[in-house]
Structure 1
Amino acid sequence: MALSSASTVDEIIAHLRTLASDENRAGMARFGIATDRALGIPNAVINPIARLIKRDHDRALALWATGIREARILATATDEPAKVTRSQIDAMAAEFDSWEIVDHAAHLICAAKLAQETIPAYAADEREFVRRTAFSTIATAAVHLKKEPDETFIAWLRLVDTHASDDRNFVRKAVNWALRQVGKRSPALHLPALELAEKLAASSDKTARWIGKDAVRELTDPKIVERLNAKR
């Protein structure tokens, strides 16, 4: 049957299983995506399904509860942000097992207006994927939360500074991503982000130095600088 906003969890899962691909699962594993509960369906196929089934909070909770990668991506895409609570996000975060699901969840956190309370808490959390969530959410917020004041991002840059020495792969990449995205958000944020990047680039810590050098390279790119100058 064709999927629609009236489709049940069982119908959605049954449809997803018809799209499963062992070949795609193997490809996902090469990109560091957890595949033990994956069907191997690319996001380019999942996204149109999300648009078909539309938003439903209770169904999103049930999709998440299946544990299936594709169902969880649909859960983050089709939940109703106004109904999402901090306790729900905390419960989800406790089960994060892949950078990919973290980055999908960051969009839901921003849409649910929970970024300001989750980011400091998750940055302080020692669990790798929970800490990644903090910085993935900063990067996402820098692009999508258009009305958030610059002061919010200045505060989040301090978290970047604090955790720039975390050498775990999925954390350091997210810290770097957050720094670059904040620096590209606005002319007012470009300078403090670049100054932090230069500070980290000169660090004696290998991880902080990598984060800083990579961010300096992007934030001094002539095209980036020109675009920001045009906004002044």
Structure 2
Amino acid sequence: MDGTTVAELMAELAALDDPKVRAVNERHGDDHGVNLGALRAIAKRLKVRHDLAVQLWATGDSAARLLALLICRPKEFTLGQLDAMAREARTPKICDWLVNYVVKKSPHAEELRVAWLADTDPVIASAGWALTTDRVARKPGGLDLAGLLDTIETEMKDAPDRLEWAMNHCLAQIGIDHPGHRARAIEIGERLEVLKDYPTPPNCTSPFAPIWISEMVRRKAAATTTGG
């Protein structure tokens, strides 16, 4: 087993901190300056080290926490630990990796999804919506899709940015994956106009739900035709 210590890793991360990378990240609300490719290379070297991951998370350093999420064993975290980690993770990249790399693989994912969805903290609620979007796409059975659309219709327009983004993603996913709700999802998007003017690079799909839904449905149809 790799015998690298937390102190050695913290020194390694400090040496990799790049002011230019940090400046770019800070524009997106993150507060670390380590290239993510370099982080992944360290994680590949370390492999799974849950004990080390817990210690790295405890440092409070953002780069260390991102590394922790790459080398932990998701199923070893208790529900309480994951909830506490979500409440400590305030930057977008850590929240995103925590949800996608750890919580989604946890046996507590559904319980946390339900609890977080109703949380008054918009950062926690956005994590709940991210987990809900994943269920809409992969395991929609038992979800009240019409009820989700009701909530989005009522609350998305006035939600803080990160929560608005998460709800919009769920709106688009419902429209993309569930034809019976597609017309309503598009209508909600058109009426609320959330992210309608979001600057989108060439060859990228706009996050404006009506455009996003239509484009992804078109691609699916094209793939089906080609495959057939």
Common fold, TM-score beyond 0.5?
A: yes
Give the Cα–Cα distance (whole angstroms) in 2 for the partners of residues 58 and 216 of structure 1: 45
The residue number in structure 1 matching 2:201 is none
71, 82, 87: which one aligns with 2:75: 82
Q: Which amino acid aligns with 2:25?
A: M
The residue number in structure 2 matching 1:12 is 9
Q: Indicate if the aligned counterparts of 1:142 and 1:182 stay in contact, CA closer than 8 A.
A: yes
Structure 1 residue 173 corresponds to structure 2 residue 165: yes
Q: Tell me how far 1:172 sits from its aligned partner.
A: 0.8
Unaligned runs of 5+ in 2: 199-206
The residue number in structure 2 matching 1:190 is 178
Q: Alignment identity in percent?
A: 25
Cα 1:160/1:178, change in 2 over 3 Å:
same
Q: Indicate if the aligned counterparts of 1:50 and 1:77 stay in contact, CA closer than 8 A.
A: yes
Unaligned runs of 5+ in 1: none
125, 139, 152: which one aligns with 1:149: 139
Q: Indicate if the aligned counterparts of 2:48 and 2:73 stay in contact, CA closer than 8 A.
A: yes
Give me the CA root mean square deviation.
3.0
Q: Tell me how far 1:88 sits from its aligned partner.
A: 0.6
Give the Cα–Cα distance (whole angstroms) in 2 for the partners of residues 157 and 5 of structure 1: 50
The residue number in structure 1 matching 2:130 is 136
Q: Tell me how far 1:170 sits from its aligned partner.
A: 0.7
The residue number in structure 2 matching 1:223 is 219
Q: Indicate if the aligned counterparts of 1:123 and 1:130 stay in contact, CA closer than 8 A.
A: yes
Aligned length: 214
Structure 1 residues 7-156: aligned runs within 5 Å: 7-33=4-30, 35=31, 38=32, 40-107=33-100, 108-140=102-134, 149-152=139-142, 154-155=143-144
Give the Cα–Cα distance (whole angstroms) in 1 for the partners of residues 184 and 2 of structure 2: 46
Give the Cα–Cα distance (whole angstroms) in 2 for the partners of residues 159 and 228 of structure 1: 28
TM-score when normalising by structure 2: 0.80
